Chain A
Amino acid sequence: MSTAAHSAAGGPLARLSDALWRSPRLLLAILLGPPLLWLGVIYLGSLFALLLQSFFSIDHFTGMVVREFTLRTYAELFTPANFDIIVRTVTMAACVTLASAIIGFPIAYYAARYARGRWRAAFYLGIMMPLWSSYLVKVYAWKLILAKEGILNWALDGIHLQWVLDAYLSLPVVGGNSLSVSPTGTFIVFVYVWMPFMILPMQAALERVPVSMLEASGDLGAQPGQTFRHVLFPLALPGVVAGSIFTFSLTLGDYIIPQIIGTSRLFIGQAVYQHQGVAGNIPLAAAFAVVPILIMGLYLWGAKRMGAFNAL
């Protein structure tokens, strides 16, 4: 057994090698030590610091952080203005998730079932390239599209449909002065930026659906719609839920898109950013940041029960 290793060479390296061979636990400790130290100290430490800060409060007269335990900062989250921010963000995240699933499903299904050979590669890159393209460049592209003198208004003018957009923008809640300063604009950009994260897990789940099962459903007399509702969709659901983890979490935490394209009404991410920056109110920023953690915790717990992690 280890005598073979002994005869290979003397020296400290060989002795260390023998020690590792004899005690797998030592090897494990060496392997796990550095990453656990890094993530444990830097990351968990920071999260802990965040949690700690959220139990501090700010003295509104001096602007200094009072380092004493209090729940006052959390209570501030429930003032109407702040609670609105939370509701708005969660609603947006839900809408974005739904829209991504609806628009992304045909792409995922086509890629999983019909694309072969070269087309398969093309589809793969076609999903992967927008996913990895620069986030800011994507937002910038939409700023160009939605600008007053930009391509969208030019195209609508060209086909004389400008009035449709104007009518839509005059609606309450979703409308605004122009698309680039309306909640609808924010929504479109969110869907655009996060949709690839929904497509990939859906595609992975759809690839595992046996074609014979869909054929059997059709042979037994189901309409395509029925096959979709009763066979395809239930089997794809874990993938949809897995994808929704990404779209939901990413939308919850984003503060750049609503800042650049959208109204002046805040989202959670923006609230965090503003409170820690200009206002210097790190405790409130921290309390706001705990909200997405809690929501995602609940979400992940639910997703796990639905078996979504097997589709990741």
Chain B
Amino acid sequence: MHSDRAPLGLKIAAAAGLAFLHLPILLIFVYAFTTEEKSYQWPPPGLTLKWFAVTWNRPDVWQALMLSLKVASVATLVAMVLGTLCAAAVSRSKFFGRETVSLLVILPIALPGVVTGIALRSAFSLADVPFSTWTIVLGHATFCVVIVYNNAVARFRRTSGSLIEASMDLGATYFQTLRFVILPNIATALVVGGMLAFALSFDEVIVTTFTSGQQQTLPIWMLEELVRPRQRPVTNVVAMVVVLVTLLPILGAYYLTRGTDTVAGQGK
């Protein structure tokens, strides 16, 4: 092999690009400790831990957090069931309209979020459906299906069909095959898909504003603060916690799929 060294210019450009992607997020971590409460002053005049205690005692933050967790859990569950079923159908058999089915799954995420949002909103208004936790879940589950689907489809493709045939030839019923052969094979892909779907739902705001009515999920709470800042220090702390919470599923997904040919999380 001859020169497999990157040119200096490329190194600098890549490093600068990565710095551009990461420095702003790191800034959040500093601001969570600042003593300044009226402005976004830099450098922080002093550092304190007191805002963590203040945030901890805020019922509105807790309420929003709980609603977000609830919505994300239910939406993830629905998405895992629907996404896996769909992936099994698309990867196991060829049928008329197969391409259309995969397009239909991808559509909610390929079209701008505002379209999905206003579409659901106008459907609710035409059908006189009142806003509730379930209207939020409905929207979230719809665009989370594709995340689980993508992960499951990739895994199904790598799982050899002869395994299933062997299991059936040896006398197992479909359900035994499902339980002892298929599920163990796709388990990590499902877990990864579920974690990513959870992270996506937990953070979603564009569709949610159209389907939530008066309820506040954590992202909606943050959005209010962004538009009309009232409690900057609390917002700083919440922002930092949100970064940490969403990173966990991503790191988890990465470690579970490390070393396989398709690593999770590509395409959100």
Contact = CB atoms under 8 A, between A and B. Distances in A.
Interface magnitude class on chain A: 35 or more
A195 B108 CA distance: 20
A28 B95 contact: yes
A169 interface: no
A194 B81 CA distance: 29
B250 interface: yes
B7 interface: yes
Interface in A85-135: 103-104, 106-107, 109-111, 113-114, 121, 123-135
Contacts of B249: 132
Contacts of B89: 28, 31-32, 35
Chain B: interface secondary structure? helix
Give the residue among B11, B24, B41 with the most A Cβ atoms within 10 A: B24
Contacts of B170: 4
Contacts of A132: 196, 199, 246-247, 249-250, 265, 268
Contacts of B43: 151, 154
Give the residue among A21, A53, A142 with the most B Cβ atoms within 10 A: A53
Interface stretch (A12-20, A70-78, A159-167, A171-179): A12-20
A301 to B, nearest CB: 13
Interface magnitude class on chain B: 35 or more
Contacts of B110: 245, 249, 296, 300
A141 B172 CA distance: 56
Interface of B: 2, 4-7, 10-11, 13-14, 17-18, 20-22, 24-25, 27-28, 31, 39-43, 78, 81-83, 85-86, 88-89, 92-93, 95, 101, 104-105, 107-108, 110-116, 118-123, 125-127, 138, 141-142, 145, 168-176, 196, 199, 203, 205-206, 209-210, 219, 222-223, 226-227, 235, 239, 242-243, 246-247, 249-251, 254, 258, 263, 265-268
Given A28-B93, A47-B115, 18 more contacts: A5-B168, A43-B116, A103-B17, A110-B14, A114-B10, A126-B22, A128-B254, A132-B199, A134-B243, A139-B226, A142-B24, A253-B112, A256-B205, A260-B226, A276-B121, A282-B125, A289-B115, A296-B111
Closest 5 CB pairs of A and B: A253-B112, A106-B13, A17-B173, A31-B89, A46-B119
